[in-house]
Structure 1
């Protein structure tokens, strides 16, 4: 059995490395982080039979300690996964976040669930994914129906910002580039406004620049082709095999120039398109539109953050 070690988040948080073999860039690992619950909550909390697995978004890693404490204070066991080539799992010489298929993360998730022991102990499983992590978990749950009891999606990237027609028009071009030059460069489209909004609200802690750069990781044709293929699968209709709760901001703001509406809206995704796409992932989908929320609804200003946690509490309590 692999050992747990202290995590960078400090007291109450531990991590373990999950070996995943090698690829053309060398050693591949994922990293599982857990929050240690209070003994009383573990014994008597209303969610004491629930395990949570959180998966981060693009150019990201797990640091949301308030989210972890929200679950452990109610007795749940909380785990977060830094996928291969992200955050704690990024190794020197690797292309950050790069993959040519979202299916590759099946191995990361399988290793995490094995380390958590959820199935062995007969516990209920809540999957919680943000942005690209929401797309990854949606596709994973559809390939593994019946494993999760609830899928919670925090502003999931279920559709390209250009919309369905734009995605369909762009896909052939991206696929050609992905075959000819998978690690080629793309123009920088992230101007850093989303990071600025979090910093102005005081919801973003200091983060290692290589783990969470202000303007995001460079993107590449091979990776973008994998994302577009995932969007196409969602558009065609998938079934995650459990109820889904989707948390979204009430509105989007195009990230072309800075303006203060970015402090209370999603400046990354087109939330109306995401809401429509979300209706195709399960027979039971609850969509909660949070007024004033950022792209990560749990990093919003206090009023929106409280509304997001209230919607999350109602969704998880509904499992009982």
Structure 2
């Protein structure tokens, strides 16, 4: 026999407590099998859901390569904006990785359409059918590329894109892509599961993980020190996606791109890596970002890391302020406040200050 309090605290059907602890639940999403066999995705949600019903805003976050969702402060930020927050561990990543599977292995980024569709179906279950919802897609690194391509293939489905250091261009830019792609594609056709040599020297883990002096605590099984080994099939899929983007996607919803002001793509450790993107060529990405769509805002943040919201506290505070201001001036203004925008107050009242979560100087969930 359970009390009313126990019933209120119990997860809804299909949802179970998440590894992040109180305030988070996860749900396993069965998926159709792909070329690599059976797979599932995992949807994580932040609780309690304290949304602004006038906004009707849902955020779906997708991680990058060798990654999974653990950025609880990011979820708190979106909660402070009145949004419902969900994060998706894609097939063969993080919570979705099963024994015997090759981590992250797919041969086409469109495969993730099924993951996103399953997530959106689960997100919609608790919403009355007469209540409209607006979707903000947020992707980091490869997740940013994946969601940009998804938005282009599904016009009208998303309200906005937020891209956190998206991998929109190869580190060697167009010339390197032109040289590398034919070789990778040939290898992928012969043996898509071929694992390529490790190129991650662990510098990014060194600046982020609290196991190596960084600030953030996460599972090194799901996000290993040197990353998972890349397969030729997966790399071919990324190169195909980048080539498609280079021809122009024409995404017609507002997009915000957050990037560091500099890269540190060095063969040996250097202290400058703790204040730069050690994974991407941010100049190349910034130039390519304009090809995402018609309404792209690029914000370059001094001393930001590859995952901007894992940067030191003063840096990520700047990032959250930029996100809140952009949200207020595009997504929120374009919907809930449109009447106010069309009929300004006669005395020129200033808009409300964007809401922001507290950003501690040190942060991590153990």
Q: TM-score range by the shorter chain?
A: over 0.9
Report the more deviating stretch, 57-66 or 29-38.
29-38
Give the stretch that moved more between structures: 170-179 or 97-106: 170-179
Q: Mind listing any 5+ residue stretches in structure 2 that lack a counterpart? A: 1-11, 333-366
SS in structure 2 opposite 1:42?
Answer: coil
Q: 1:1-320 alignment to 2 at 5 Å? A: 2-23=13-34, 25-37=36-48, 41-42=50-51, 48-117=55-124, 120=129, 121-199=131-209, 202-209=214-221, 211-318=222-329, 319-320=331-332
Judge conservation of contact 1:188–1:218 (CA < 8 Å) in 2. Answer: yes
- Distance in 1 of aligned mates of 2:119 and 2:268: 40
After superposition, the CA RMSD in angstroms is: 1.7
Q: Compute the displacement of 1:4 (Å).
A: 0.9
Please give the alpha-carbon distance, in whole angstroms, between the structure 2 residues aligned to 1:306 and 1:201. 21
Q: Distance in 2 between matches of 1:27 and 1:69?
A: 33
**Distance in 2, Cα, partners of 1:24 & 1:286:** 37
Offset of residue 255 of structure 1 = 3.4
TM-score normalized with structure 2 length: 0.83
Going from structure 1 to structure 2, the CA distance change for 1:231 and 1:24 (only over 3 Å counts) comes to: closer
Cα distance in structure 1, aligned partners of 2:201 and 2:165:
19
Query: Does the CA-based 8 Å contact 1:150-1:316 persist in structure 2?
Result: no
TM-score by length of 1: 0.94
Q: Distance in 1 between matches of 2:135 and 2:117?
A: 13
Secondary structure, in 3 states, of the residue corresponding to 1:62? coil
What CA distance in whole angstroms lies between the structure 2 residues aligned with 1:225 and 1:54?
24
User: Residue by residue, what CA displacement relative to the aligned partner does 1:198-217 show, whole Å, maximum 9, x if unpaired?
Assistant: 136633213142x1111011
* Pair 254,139 (structure 1): closer, same or farther in 2 beyond 3 Å: same
How far apart are residue 73 of structure 1 and its match?
Answer: 2.5
Give the Å deviation of 1:123: 1.4
> Which whole-Å CA distance do the structure 2 matches of 1:221 and 1:24 have between them?
14
Distance across 1 between alignment mates of 2:28 and 2:148: 24
Separation in 2, partners of 1:99, 1:14: 26
Between stretches 255-264 and 118-127, larger displacement belongs to 118-127
1:84 Cα offset (Å):
0.3
Tell me whether 82-91 or 197-206 shows the greater mean CA deviation.
Answer: 197-206
CA displacement, residues 253-307 of structure 1 (integer Å, 9 cap, x when unaligned): 0131101111110000000000011001110100000000000000001111111
- Unaligned 5+ residue runs, structure 1? none
Cα deviation, residue 190, structure 1 = 0.3
Greater C-alpha radius of gyration: 2
How many residue pairs align between the two structures? 315
